[in-house]
Amino acid sequence: MLHILKLIRVQNLIIIALTQYLFRYAILIPIMKLEDISPVFSNFNFALLVISTLLIAAAGYAINDYFDIRIDRINRPDKIVVGKFISRRKVMLLHTVLSIIAVLIGVYLSFCVGSLKLAAVNIVIATLLWMYSMKYKAYFLVGNLIVAFASGMTIVIVWLFEIYALRYQGNITSNPNIIDFVTNKIKILNFLLWAYTLFAFVISLAREIIKDIEDVTGDKKCGCSTIPVVIGISKTKYFLLFLLGLSVLLLSYISYHAYLLPNMKFIFWYLNIVVIIPLIFMGYEIIIAKVKEDYGFLSNVTKFIMVAGVLSMALIFLKF
């Protein structure tokens, strides 16, 4: 069981669940209540939505290790699970079972909100993660973008199911508050939705590229065309600094507006001290990084920054 938990990256799954729960209960529902709108997507169905997201992520981690055996034997031989503690056949079975359950849950939830096309979200993401592990991980930037996209979708999918549940309620055309809500007239919600989505996308992209630098030896020997393999580590560092700069600008814009609002200065200080300063520190560490261990440390720093950013949702909840 311990090896299975290691295979599916339990720590990462906890972060995903925390992100979805905080976005719904600390941002989405409080803003809805400000407009006298009661959520119609039940807590039980939302829990199923989170479970389906976690199952897809776990399946993605499992299949990634399945296809990465050759590379992992070079990059991290002491951390190999597939083929050593768990057979490849069992890993493939685990991936298949988790993916099927996630897709079935997605179909059920789509039926509940009256839009079966939403079932395509789980299918598409599960397929992309499969293709990423089997093929696109070795392509220049493509694999990184797939993982970053999947990370951002963990937030967007919460919004999608809530909106379609409201539309399926039946009285949407007679309730002006819901009409305004669905037609994107609540600017603060849309701003927060896309701000957190973009933050998750950029930080995930940066972390994936850092991991590519960390694994450059094995990737090069196995014929992968990752960013550091194609353009070199020095130029890859410049790209990483660009992504970090983009994140700092985004967060500075948010914190500036938080400072201008009454009773929101604590968010300004939180973002600057707990998120922006670590991002600047990370930029410095990228510049001086030289050995594999340095990039392993940077990968952990990005995870800390991601969690810190997610926890800022709880502070926004205090405002509401």
DSSP string spanning 227-273?
HHHHH-HHHHHHHHHHHHHHHHHHHHHHHHHHHHSTT-HHHHHHIII
Q: Note the pLDDT of residue 87.
A: 87
Count the neighbouring beta carbons within 10 Å of the beta carbon of residue 290.
8
User: How many percent of the chain have pLDDT more than 70?
Assistant: 93
CA distance 315 to 26: 8
In three-state secondary structure terms, 309 is: helix
Average of per-residue pLDDT across 79-107: 89
Structural domain including 92 reads 2-319
Contact status, residue 172 vs residue 179, Cβ threshold 8 Å: yes
**Is residue 208 pLDDT above 90, yes or no?**
yes
Q: Which pair of tokens denotes residue 261?
A: 């609002």
Average of per-residue pLDDT across 244-260: 89
Provide the number of structural domains found in the chain: 1
Burial of 21 (C-beta count, 10 Å sphere; 0-12/13-18/19+): middle
**Is residue 255 pLDDT above 60, yes or no?**
yes
Q: Which one has a higher pLDDT value, 196 or 86? A: 196
Q: Note the pLDDT of residue 171.
A: 47
**Is residue 181 pLDDT above 70, yes or no?**
no
**Is residue 185 pLDDT above 80, yes or no?**
no
**Mean pLDDT for all residues in the chain:** 88
- DSSP string computed for 191-232: HHHHHHHHHHHHHHHHHHHHHHHHTHHHHHHTT---HHHHH-
Q: Note the pLDDT of residue 102.
A: 97
Contact status, residue 146 vs residue 129, Cβ threshold 8 Å: yes
